[in-house]
Structure formats: structure tokens, C-alpha cells
Structure 1
Amino acid sequence: IFAYNMMPHRSKRALLVPPMFVPENQRAPFPRLIGKVISSDMKEDHIFCLMGRGADQDPKGVFSINRLTGDVAVSRALDREAIAYYHLQVSTTDLSGRLVEGPVDLDVSVIDQNDNRPVFKEPRYSGEVLEGSPTGTTVMTMTAYDADDPNTDNAVLRYIIVRQLPDKPSPNMFYIDPERGDIVTVIAPHQLDRETLPTTQYELEIVAKDMAGSEVGLTGTATATITITDRNDHAPEFTHSLFQASVNEGSTGVVVNLTVDDRDDPATGAWRAIYSIINGDPNQNFEIQTNLDNNEGMLSVVKPLDYESSMFHTLLIKVENEDPLVPDVVYGPSSTATVYITVMDVNEGPVFFPDPLVVIRRENIPVGSFVAMLNASDPDYLQTQSIRLVKDPADWLIVNPFKGNVTTRAILDRESPHVHNNQYTALFMATDNGSPPASGTGMLIITLEDENDNAPYVFPSVARVCEDAKDMNVVVIGGRDKDIHPNTDPFKIELGKQPGLEKTWKISRINDTHSQIMLLHSLKKANYNLPLVLTDSGVPPISNNTELKVQVCTCKKNRMDCSRAGSIQTNHLLLLGLVLLSILCKYPFIPPSTTLTCMLNPSYQNAGNSR
């Protein structure tokens, strides 16, 4: 196998360099002769030189050449999987180092030995196959590799299954293609049934052997785990054809849990149930949802049931899976169930209708007048009820406990602080004679119509003016009324009927609610009470005789002094002044030019004549 029998390559100067071959993994002794380089022009002063990787380059010293004979030798064992090919160069030089021949290529090939076992990419492989799959269905592919020369049988692999666990129902449920490594099913589709197999996972021990599977080949091992996955080939079935439950009327919530069996894989769409009510619930009082933990159907009341309307309910329930069934499986009679629900009677409170009850009444109607008729009906038709007042803020009303008619016990006043937005609200309670008694509340809203029962009043009630004012406009006053239209404005504002007022005072209308008070001549500093008459527009109208206090003050440098003339600061002098003032006010001979104001006994005439 060495180079002596090979045809040499001829160089330009007749340097003969044959290709050389070295088996890997040779044993000592070393060095071993692997070939010879021949020079046709070799002289005594010529020497051979070897260069390149494996000679004077890393890995250095693997190969050497006899400087005089041209014999090439290997110095140690080679590993083809490390370096499969060495490219060297040979030349000859004289003793001075001058190149004589070459360089010429020297190729050394490492001959492979079967020294590497097949190795799988993974120690464990996982695959899945759907139950009922046809025979020959590919499950997965096993792949191993061999580091030996792929052009030799050393790297030609063959795959076999050496063990299957468990080995039921057949030890040969699967087959592996010896060349490609494809694992396919061998078992018949009807036997590949997840629900009847002893397990849903099978373990295969796979061996890859080189040398094309011959007895002398090296082997590698891996494990393949095959999971039999579920398909929806079993319809869910109720554990009972009839379920029963009872529920109190008026209550909501879960009343019964419906149980089903399904042989498919839990926590998959082939197992998860979907429930539906297909009959017996025209008013949609019920709802059914799936309990995700145990797949039960939770039947609930979502709209309260009424015992008096129906004491029994019969529902027809259907169950299906999230995933569709396989074509050869259908939902059977066991996929439906009947639910009998008994409604238990509960003493229900009376109900007012309408609630609230709104009526319109005029204020000031006589005591004992009819206001409204309350209607409280009891869903439990055998019960009787009585009605009482529970909230009557102004204590205006009386109710007949058995007939429900509401009358007045006091005058209704729209202007009362208990009336808001013209409405008075009372609360009533009806109680039945059940055991225990039940009650219900209802509201009565009385909208009060206005009557002209309030006189208007003036605002503001006090005005100030300078005694030497050039502008004789005293104040703009307005009228107010607790009543509402049409019993309020437009207001008529007039001077009182006392004689002489029109000589000093004048009123000019501004609009429906306001008028201007003016002085016709200046007044001395004093307090004056101006009598006024305010009249509203009700039918019939109401008038109010009132007063406007006018303070005539001293004004200097934009400051107004409205203190009384002759005011004494000490308590004793103040008491003496009050006594004198009382005496002076009793006698008419006091000249009109006096500046005192008779506050203890105000005189309308003073307001008209003091100058």
C-alpha cells in the first residue's frame, strides 16, 4: 500500500515524488518508512529538504526525509479524524543552500480505520402519533453520525429497534427504516387506541451500527419516546339521565352540578365539555357553565324564579366537546340529560305599584282631603297586608292601614322647608301576615300647586344717602315673593297712604320687579322710616304695607358718617339723652328743623316733613 508501487509525478528537473498513504492508528516502532523521493540529478553535494504542515510547520515533525536518500518516514501514529490529508513539498539544494530541484508537491493521505462509533445528535428523542393513525405513519426520524471516512463502510450506518417498552399489545408496534432512520407505525389503526392501550407512551431503544450493519460494526444507542396523542373519538356522556334540584324563589346562584364521563385525554379540547340548555328555559332564567377543574356543568339561576308563577321547571341539557368528534363518532342519547327543578315558596314582601306614586295637589286644601290611594300587592296571594307611614317629615298625612287611602291631617304648604322643587316626599311600608312577616316600602311624591298665600316683601330694607347729595336717587329696591308665577311679579311698589309723602319722595318703576326711590329735596342728617305698599300679581292680589329705613348721613371727603347727632359716649349721659328724647317726641311744638330722629316711636310724618 506504500509508494514504491505507485506511478511517480515528474518534475521539471526529474524529481520523482509519488503520492503516499499512511494508515491511521499505527503502533510503534517509529519512524516508519512510507515512501521515497527520487532525484535523477542527485549528486554528492545535493541534499533533500521537506517542507510544509507536518514537517517544518505545526504539527511539526510528523514526517521527515532522509537528506541523502530521499526516504520519507512518519514519526508517530496518525488520526484521520484530526487531519485526513497532509500537503508537503520536497526540494533539493546544494551544500550552500542553493535550490537545485523543486519544490515538488508531496501529498500524504491518512487511510481510515473504523475507530469511531456512531453518535446520535441527542441521547433522547421525542415524537407523537395520533391515535388511530394508518399503518405506515411516520412518527419521527432518528439521526446519528460517524466521524469515520464517509466514503467507506466505516461511516455507513444502519438503524434497528432492539427493544420496545412496554411490549403490549405487540412487541413490534413500530418499525425503523434501517437506512433513513424514519420510525413508522406497524400496528393496525384500530389497535392504536389511546384509551385501550396499556400506556400512552412507548420507549424504543434504537441502535445505529456502522460498517453497513455488519457484525463487526461499531454501535451507538439512543432512546425514542413516542406519545400516543388523543383525538376526539369518544363523546361525553352524562353520569345520570336525570338530575334533580330545589331552589328558593327569588334567589340566584348554582343549583346543581352536572357530571359527565369522557374517555378522551383530560385538559384537551377532546375532553373539555360545553353545556347548553336546549329546552325548558323560554325566559332565560338559567345559565350553565363548565367547571374548568373537573369538567362538571354548573347550572345556575340568573333570573330569580317565582313560586307563584311556576313551582316546577324541567330543563333538557346537552353536552358537547370543544373539539369536533371524529367522523365515525356521533353524540348519542347519553349526551343529553333532564334536570327537574323544584321552586320553594318564600314569604315575599308586598310590592307597591306604581313606585313611586306621583300625585298633584293644591296647597292649602282642607284637613281631611283625599291625597292618594296606595296599592300594595303581595306576590303570595294568600297573604294580607297593612300599610303604615314611616317617613312624613312635616306630619301632614294619614293612611288607612287596610284600604291604603292617604288623607291630610294638616294644611299642605308649598313654601314649607320640607318641600323641595314643589314636591313633598313620604315613605310608606306594607307588612304582610306571613311567618315571619315580610315587608316592602313605597314612595309617595306630592307635587304641590301654588296658591297666592304669601305677600311680597321689599329688599333691601335699609338705604343710605348723603344729606347734601346732588344725586337725589336714594336706592333701587325690588320685590320678592315666596310664591311662584303667576302669583309673584310684576310687582306694584307705591308710597304709603300717609299724607305729605309725595312732597319728599318719589318712586319710579324700572321693570317688573324693581323701582327707583328718589328724594325730591335734601333732608337733614337723621333716620327716616319710609312707608311703602308692595302688591303682587296673584288672583286676587296680596299687598304688604312695609317700611324702608333711609339713613341720611354726613358725607365728607368720600367718607359717610351715619352716627346720630349729639351721641354721648358715657353710659350715664346716654341714659339721660334717651329720657330727654322720649319727652321731646311727645310734644308737637318742636320745630321741624330739629335733627333728632324719633326712633322709639317712628313717625311717617317726620319722613315726609323734616327739612
Structure 2
Amino acid sequence: MGPRIFLIISTALLLAVNYAEGKWSYPDQRISEGPLNEKMKVVKIHSKDNSTATYDISGDFGTKFEIDRKTGQIWQVEAVDRETKDRYTITIESADSNGNPTEDPFLFDIVVADINDNYPEFEESSLTGSVEELHDKGPDSTPFMQVKATDADIGFNAAIRFSIEEGRDIPESPSGNRFIIDPVSGWVRVNGDDLNYEFNPVVRFIVIAVDSNGGAGSNARSREVVVSVRDSNDHAPEFGPLADISLSELSGLYTPLYIMYASDIDEGVNKKVYFEILNGNTGGPFTIVSQQSEIDKNLGELQLVKPLDFESGVVSYELKIKAYNKDASNAADVTYASESTLSITVIDANEPPIFRDTPYNYRITEGPAPAQPVPIIQVHAEDIDFNKTQTVTYSLEDPENWFDIVATTGQITLKGAVDREATADGVYHLKVIATDNYDHGHPASGSEEVAITIEDINDNPPAPDWGPEGATTYVCEKPRNRTARHIKATDPDSAVNGPPFTFRLHDSVDQTKWSLETVDDESVNLIAEFSDYGLSSNVSLIFTVADSGTVSKTGTATLTATICKCGDDGECTNHYAFPYTRGPQPFTSHGPTIECTTLWRAEIFIFPIIYTHFSI
């Protein structure tokens, strides 16, 4: 009744104003939306012109309004809905009995006033959310989702307040509602401690939205909200049983020695368990390699990264081991880690004897075998297994059989002739082996090298290095190239007993025809001093080579020079190769180019043909 009384009073005032002012003018009119049981007066228009006989209205109102054409009363005849259309523009007109206008047309609006006739509507996408099971809790915690709703009304009628229905959580929570909601913003926070992904991965609650701020005449609507609970690392791994173990001190490195297990009922990275040794790993010989095996199990392989040593005195370990989720966001929280202890006993094993006072080095001078064995150096190996109750015997690996060893004491003696030149670098590497007398299996052996430096004596003369040409050369009877052959010498002795070498032709060599020309410390050239040697076959050129040792050594060698007739190109032409060659093979002044059996033919001067057979 209130809105209707307001409209009647406003109409009366309008008419009073209109008549008082005596002009054709009307303000906007207000009507209320909602059901209409009978037609209602809106406003009565009146023209000051006494000739006015009829009134009319037009506009975008359809059939919702009508006018009494004689009295000018405008009526609302149909219900209006503000949410559909909130105002209507009315054009009013007046005319005399002949239809002539008595006033200019005038426009005013009929404004539809809102009533609370709509319910809140939820945004569907805001009714689903997700939260980690370890999300922070309480009224000051971080909201994880926002419920949203709208109301088609306006102003106070559209002011929405949210709440959560008590005791309607699904599944029911013994601690009360799991969530709280901000009544104005709709932000949802975790309230209780009953989020558990492993048992309830999805929870539901009822949210209520009420308009008009929940006041009198408000409209309310409720919906179910679905929250997916995400897994958090809220469970500590659980160890499988750990058994005490014994390990030989000879256990291999980086191989599985013991397998431990742990399980975790969380999911994803929160399920994967890693193992870590916290303490008890004296000297750091152990590590644990973490691996996943089955769906619900994680395993850790106990491995050695350093060898065990019973004799060091550390014969047992108490490893305190942590199982935790290294990749979880709260990996550092000890609440979600487990600890257990693994007991390890180290067992003594038969190991090779250990050589002491290494490295072993000695120097001797090469020479003939001594009349009696000569002690040179003593080695010592110790067996510390089983309280040092075992004995050690010694043996040698001596390829040249120059030395011997006393099996019980490790004394090495020189017994044979030593030749420095038999070694690669003047150092002889002697291998000494120490073996224990373990009688419960195979004895163990260890070895050590004795490096014996052999000092040189000048016991080798230099000798020519003839190379593939051998100790022969070919020289034209009328040489164009005076260098008949390059001769290089070598000496197996050390540098102090080696070059520079001294080369000399023997007195038997005709030194008017032959000479030696120094090239460097190790070589000379044979020079042909003649211009026409004349007819000859082979010439033996004997020469000596002496080294530079304090007590010099001299070697003697013979080079056979074959004098041949040569063509214009300076190559020998008076010999032929058969039957193993493809034809005549020329020879250079530095020797033949192939190895074969050749038949030499002397040129006929005043002598009959003579055939001489040589083997090259």
C-alpha cells in the first residue's frame, strides 16, 4: 500500500503545481515493478486551453499504459519488470473537438522502481576449487577459492552475503565445517584439520547466498561447492625392517651390499623416498643410492665409496639413516622424515702383504757376472691380517735372470752379467712379489717394483748403419757425382760413450782415389777422388769408426764398391737382371733399386767376354 499512496499524493501535487503554474509540463513519474491485480493511476494531465476536448499518449510502452481521453488520466494496466525495462518514455498530446492541437507535445519518463523480486545466482565456475591438504588454516589464512554470485536487482536489494551451512560437509567432519567464507567477498579459507587427500580426495559443502544483506524480505539460494583436495607431503616415509649385517673388508666398491626399503602413502613427488646417512659413517666409506622399485616401495642400495679396512681399528658402524621426500616442497621439515639405524660389522679378510719403505731404487754398473752373488737392496713387506700371525715369502719376476732374492728376508742379490744396452732406457724394472701363508683358502700376493738404474761402460764400438742398401755401393768409372755413399754410424752405449765419431780409411785403401768427408758428429760421405777409375769390378774399402768414450772403442767395417760403366745419365749400363726381373734394371750411384740375382757382363775391350755371378 505504501507505493500506491505515494503515487496518489505525487499526482495531486503535480496537478496543483500544473494548475498553479498554468503551463503544460510534467516531471518523470515513478511506479513500482511487481504483480498488478488492478489498474493503477499514474498521473492525470490537464491543458489550460479551455478548448481542449481530448488527450492522447504514445511511446515505447506497448499496452502497459492507457489514458482516459476525456479526463487525461493515465493508467498502468499491466505489470512491469524493472529487470526487463526500467523506464518508459511517454509523449502526451491534447486537441480540440476538431482535432487541432491545443498544446505542444511533451515527453516525460515513467521510471520503474526496484523491488526485491530476484534471487542470487551463483557463477558456476566459482563452485569448484582445489586446495592442498596442508594448506594454512584459520580466518587469517590464505584463501584458496572465491565463490561468486550476482543479483538482478539493484542497490540494497542486490547486496549479497555468503555463509556456509553448518554440519553439511560431505563427508561429515567430526571437527565441524572444514571451510569458512568471507560473507562479503566470498573468499573461502580452510578452517579445520580434516583435509586428507589419502582418504577424502574430494569434499563438498553447502554455500548460501542471501540478498538485501540478509535483511527482512531477503531472498536466499544455496548450492553445493566441490573442492578437490591435492596431495601434500603430510606423511613421513616408513622404513622396512633393517637387519644387522656383516661385511668383509674386501667388499667391492660401488656395488649393492644391502638393500633397504621405505614406503610413503603420499602421491607423486611426495611419494618418492630418498635415503641419507646422517651420522655414524666414520671416514665416509658408505653411501646410499636411492631408487624406486615397486609402486608402493622405494629402495636404497648401501654401497662403498671407500674400501673398508679392518686393520684401521674401525670394525663396526652404526649408521643413522634418514628417509625423506627430497623433491617435496617441505622436504626440510623433519616432521615428515623418518630415521632408523643400520648396524654393520667389518670382518677381517686375507689381504696381500703391504710393502714398506717404498719406492725401491738402486744403481749398479753394467758388467760381467760377479764370482759370488752380491747383495744390493733389501725389500720388506708386512702382513697385518689376523693379528700379524702370517709369514711372508718373496719371489722375483726377472726376465733377464740377472738377480735373485732370499725368500725369507727379501734381500736382492746380483748374480748375472748386466747389460745396460738390453734395457730400453737404462733402467731395469724388477718385480718383487710378497706372498702370505694363508691356509684357509688361496694365499694373497702383493707386488712392488724395484727400479734399477744401470750405469753405462763403454763396451760397444760404433758400427755403420747400412740401411736397406747394405754394405755395397755402385760408382761410375767416370763419376759425375763425387759423393759415392753416405755412411752413418750408431753406438748402443750412452751419449757420453757415443758421438762424435771419428771415421778413418784403412791404409789398404788407395787414398788418392777415395776419401771421407765429415757431414756431422755421426756420419761422413765417401768421396770418389778419381776422374777415370779404369776397368775394375769390386773394390773393398776398409775403414774404422771410433767413439768419444774416455777409453775409446773402435769398430772396423768394409764397404764394397762396384765400378761400373755409366751412360750419359750417370747410371750404370753394363749389367742386366734376370731371371727374376722384368727387364734390365739400372743402378744408381747409391746402389740398386731392387734386390735380385743379377748377371754382370763386362764390356769387351781386348779381352774375351767374362761372366761373373754376384748375389745382391
Task: Give the TM-score band, short-chain normalised.
Answer: 0.5 to 0.7
Separation in 2, partners of 1:99, 1:465: 154
- The correspondence for 1:452, drawn from 437, 451, 458, is 458
Separation in 1, partners of 2:420, 2:238: 71
Superposed, which structure 2 residues align to 1:456-535 within 5 Å? 456-460=462-466, 461-469=471-479, 472-498=482-508, 501-522=510-531, 523-524=533-534, 526-535=537-546
Q: 1:357 to 1:597 in 2, by over 3 A?
A: farther
Separation in 1, partners of 2:129, 2:50: 64
Alignment partner of 1:361 is 2:364? yes
Q: 1:425 to 1:146 in 2, by over 3 A?
A: same
Q: 1:302 to 1:513 in 2, by over 3 A?
A: closer
Residue aligning to 1:538: 549
Residue aligning to 2:222: 220
Separation in 1, partners of 2:513, 2:180: 130
For residues 244-268 of structure 1, what are the alpha-carbon distances to aligned partners after superposition, in whole Å with 9 as ceiling and x for unaligned? 4422113257777899999999987
Superposed, which structure 2 residues align to 1:76-115 within 5 Å? 79-81=81-83, 83-86=84-87, 88=89, 90=91, 101-102=104-105, 104-109=107-112, 111-115=114-118
Residue aligning to 1:379: 384
Q: Which amino acid aligns with 1:85?
A: D
Cα drift, residue 294 of structure 1: 7.5
Cα drift, residue 533 of structure 1: 0.8
Q: 1:146 to 1:36 in 2, by over 3 A?
A: farther
Residue aligning to 1:604: none
Q: Which amino acid aligns with 1:492?
A: T
Q: 1:476 to 1:48 in 2, by over 3 A?
A: farther
Superposed, which structure 2 residues align to 1:277-316 within 5 Å? 277=279, 281=282, 283-286=283-286, 301-310=304-313, 312-313=315-316, 315=318
Residue aligning to 2:353: 350
Separation in 1, partners of 2:217, 2:94: 53
Superposed, which structure 2 residues align to 1:150-299 within 5 Å? 150-153=154-157, 155-165=159-169, 170-171=175-176, 178=183, 204-213=205-214, 217-223=219-225, 244-251=244-251, 275-277=277-279, 281=282, 283-286=283-286
Cα drift, residue 489 of structure 1: 0.5
TM-score (norm 2): 0.67
Cα drift, residue 337 of structure 1: 8.1
Cα drift, residue 537 of structure 1: 1.6
Q: 1:325 to 1:478 in 2, by over 3 A?
A: closer
Task: Note if contact 1:131-1:231 (Cα within 8 Å) is conserved in structure 2.
Answer: no
For residues 281-319 of structure 1, what are the alpha-carbon distances to aligned partners after superposition, in whole Å with 9 as ceiling and x for unaligned? 3x3445578889979998765432322332633548497
Separation in 2, partners of 1:409, 1:71: 149
For residues 107-141 of structure 1, what are the alpha-carbon distances to aligned partners after superposition, in whole Å with 9 as ceiling and x for unaligned? 543634423234256224556797997x7545647
Cα drift, residue 275 of structure 1: 4.9
Q: Identity over aligned residues, as a percent?
A: 21
Report the secondary structure of 1:346's partner residue. Answer: coil
Alignment partner of 1:146 is 2:150? yes
Q: Which amino acid aligns with 1:382?
A: T
Report the secondary structure of 1:489's partner residue. Answer: coil
Cα drift, residue 490 of structure 1: 1.1
Alignment partner of 1:442 is 2:447? yes
Task: Note if contact 2:130-2:230 (Cα within 8 Å) is conserved in structure 1.
Answer: no
Task: Note if contact 1:275-1:289 (Cα within 8 Å) is conserved in structure 2.
Answer: no
Q: 1:19 to 1:404 in 2, by over 3 A?
A: same
Task: Note if contact 2:180-2:190 (Cα within 8 Å) is conserved in structure 1.
Answer: yes
For residues 570-603 of structure 1, what are the alpha-carbon distances to aligned partners after superposition, in whole Å with 9 as ceiling and x for unaligned? 99xxxxx98999xxxxxxxx99x999898879xx
TM-score (norm 1): 0.67
Alignment partner of 1:420 is 2:443? no
Report the secondary structure of 1:486's partner residue. Answer: helix
Separation in 2, partners of 1:304, 1:433: 23
- 446-455 or 291-300, larger mean C-alpha shift: 291-300
Q: 1:160 to 1:515 in 2, by over 3 A?
A: closer
Separation in 1, partners of 2:44, 2:395: 132
Residue aligning to 1:549: 560
Task: Note if contact 2:49-2:102 (Cα within 8 Å) is conserved in structure 1.
Answer: no
Q: Which amino acid aligns with 1:383?
A: Q
Task: Note if contact 2:212-2:219 (Cα within 8 Å) is conserved in structure 1.
Answer: yes
Number of corresponding residues: 554
Task: Note if contact 2:289-2:300 (Cα within 8 Å) is conserved in structure 1.
Answer: yes
Q: 1:458 to 1:38 in 2, by over 3 A?
A: farther
Cα drift, residue 493 of structure 1: 0.1
Cα drift, residue 392 of structure 1: 4.7
Superposed, which structure 2 residues align to 1:562-577 within 5 Å? 562-564=572-574
- 290-299 or 165-174, larger mean C-alpha shift: 290-299
Q: 1:468 to 1:371 in 2, by over 3 A?
A: same
- 394-403 or 430-439, larger mean C-alpha shift: 394-403
Separation in 2, partners of 1:78, 1:538: 134
Task: Note if contact 1:452-1:483 (Cα within 8 Å) is conserved in structure 2.
Answer: yes
- Please provide the CA RMSD for this pair: 5.9
Residue aligning to 1:433: 437
Task: Note if contact 2:156-2:213 (Cα within 8 Å) is conserved in structure 1.
Answer: no
Q: 1:596 to 1:280 in 2, by over 3 A?
A: same
Report the secondary structure of 1:122's partner residue. Answer: helix
Report the secondary structure of 1:561's partner residue. Answer: coil
Residue aligning to 1:607: none
Task: Note if contact 2:30-2:111 (Cα within 8 Å) is conserved in structure 1.
Answer: yes
Separation in 2, partners of 1:318, 1:105: 87
Separation in 1, partners of 2:50, 2:223: 58
Q: 1:40 to 1:548 in 2, by over 3 A?
A: farther
Report the secondary structure of 1:501's partner residue. Answer: coil
Report the secondary structure of 1:90's partner residue. Answer: strand
Residue aligning to 2:588: none
Separation in 2, partners of 1:465, 1:73: 149
Q: 1:599 to 1:464 in 2, by over 3 A?
A: same
Report the secondary structure of 1:152's partner residue. Answer: helix
Q: 1:107 to 1:78 in 2, by over 3 A?
A: closer
Cα drift, residue 405 of structure 1: 4.2
Structure 2: gaps spanning 5 or more residues: 325-330, 581-597
For residues 33-85 of structure 1, what are the alpha-carbon distances to aligned partners after superposition, in whole Å with 9 as ceiling and x for unaligned? 9667766679899996756xx57xxxxx587777978887889875544x453
